[in-house]
Amino acid sequence: MQAFHLYLDSADLADLKTCLPHPAVHGITTNPTLLRRAGVTRDKLPELLHNAIKLGAKQVQAQVHAADTDGILADAQALVRQFNPGQLVIKIPATRDGLRAGAELSEAGTPVTYTAVYAPEQAHFAGQLGAAYAAPYLGRLEDSGVDGLALIGQMQSLLAG
């Protein structure tokens, strides 16, 4: 059976304390919008992630702030050096620069999640470039009038084949 991991999508420490530890929850995932809503500044992000691990998260995911390749790599490397191998997954938008930076990180052994995966080609590239995860957003796909479940099924078939 392929691994399936459930992540809490939150940057709110009170929420994390309510939900962790839990045997079904593998970890947490955050993004700049969630961090902003929770009042977590960029320099406080590592503290939040370490707190999640102390609460029982096996893995944490954090998104880079930069959009260009060099900036993405700098953001990622600043975070990665603060965690043990495998504890942190770097989230990167599935853009041209993101794919370029993610490929370099994956090659170096840093787990990567490509976010904002809205097309089968993006999922294919994520798989080809060694991503740990690809994250399509079902709600956003559905809101745009796309049959999100069917599209995600197509993406999954591409990756499985």
**Is the CB of residue 28 less than 8 Å from the CB of residue 21?**
no
The residue from 17, 44, 58, 91 that is catalytic is: 91
The first and second tokens of residue 74, run together, are 């700098």
CA distance linking residue 22 with residue 5, whole number of Å: 12
Alpha helix segments (H runs only) across 1-87: 13-19, 32-38, 45-55, 69-80
Among the listed residues 48, 110, 50, 42, the one whose alpha carbon sits nearest the alpha carbon of residue 76: 110
91 is catalytic: yes
Catalytic positions are 91
